[in-house]
Structure 1
Amino acid sequence: DPLSGHLFVFINRRATQMKVLYWDRTGFCLWAKRLEQGRFLSDWQNVTPREMDWTGLKMMLEGIEPGRLSKRYKGPKNAQ
């Protein structure tokens, strides 16, 4: 169960791809997500290695950056 162990999250320099590495008792597993628009992080200046709970990771995957109140991208201007 990945929730009971440690997850290691890696984000590329453009902050458009995220990979999550964990051990599942039979070997390493790797999840990957690539964004079509927006970025996982808004500013690399404020990034520091830290521990995060499962809820924080789910929020990042959904586009909510911890400590930031706005979404990572805005929809097209003509969208309703």
Structure 2
Amino acid sequence: MAALAALRPALPRSARLLALGGALLVVAQLALGVTTLRLALAVPAVTIAHQLGAALLVAVLAGLLGQLPGLAGRPPSTSPSPSPLS
């Protein structure tokens, strides 16, 4: 999904960059996960890198969700919402 979103020209540039970053992080996570398992969790640096990559992937995908209002379960807004303080 993220790779397809990166190819849609109708999306804002920031959303395309987040989608591309998410796709690259998935590939990196796959490689780190396989390496972690092959090393039987014996190298803490690889295991920690895998965990940090997972946290970064969640953050990137959350940012992407915030950029795509239709996927976040809210309709796209054409005007700013009124401030609750006014």
> Normalised by the shorter chain, which TM-score bucket?
under 0.3
Q: TM-score, normalised by structure 1?
A: 0.24
Q: Greater helix share, 1 or 2?
A: 2
User: What TM-score do the two structures reach when normalised by structure 2?
Assistant: 0.23
